[in-house]
Amino acid sequence: MSRYYVNKFLFTVDRDPRWVARYKADPAAAVEQWEEEAGQWLNPAERTTWLSFTAAERRALETYDYVWLFENGCHFFLYLTLFIGIFEEDWTREKGPLSYQRDWAKRLEHWTGHPYPSTAL
């Protein structure tokens, strides 16, 4: 898994309200668009051609599968803050305060007592 690339996606999308809105509205299109527009840039002057998402990474990002992301070493803080930004307001309105965070914790409950998966690159 290319943890760097997935974490780069999570980090950059979370810090741009336009990307967050795109990702919420159509995750598959946002992932594809991000790869084309932002993912290949190492910095404002350097571009790479070897980075891309694997099929599993793409599927996890398109379906907001934070359990898969966690289990495969994506940095939990990056997707937690992004997904809270995307879902918290809707979940709070439908299920009450902190409902998204409680569901997140419940779905990752099977990791209780185990070390976190490595987020090393």
> CB of 45 within 8 A of CB of 28?
no
**Which residues, in sequence order, are bridge partners of residue 47?**
41
Instruction: Give pLDDT tens digits for 23-73.
Output: 999 999 999 999 988 888 666 767 677 788 999 999 999 999 999 999 998
Provide the whole-model pTM. 0.86
> CB of 66 within 8 A of CB of 72?
no
- pLDDT score at 37: 87
- pLDDT score at 47: 67
- pLDDT score at 46: 72
Q: Which domain holds residue 82?
A: 3-110
With respect to residue 42, please indicate whether it lies within any of the assigned structural domains: yes
Instruction: Give pLDDT tens digits for 5-23.
Output: 899 999 999 999 999 999 9
Count CA within 13 A, CB hemisphere, residue 14. Answer: 18
> CB of 49 within 8 A of CB of 40?
yes
**Which residues, in sequence order, are bridge partners of residue 41?**
47
With respect to residue 119, please indicate whether it lies within any of the assigned structural domains: no
With respect to residue 120, please indicate whether it lies within any of the assigned structural domains: no
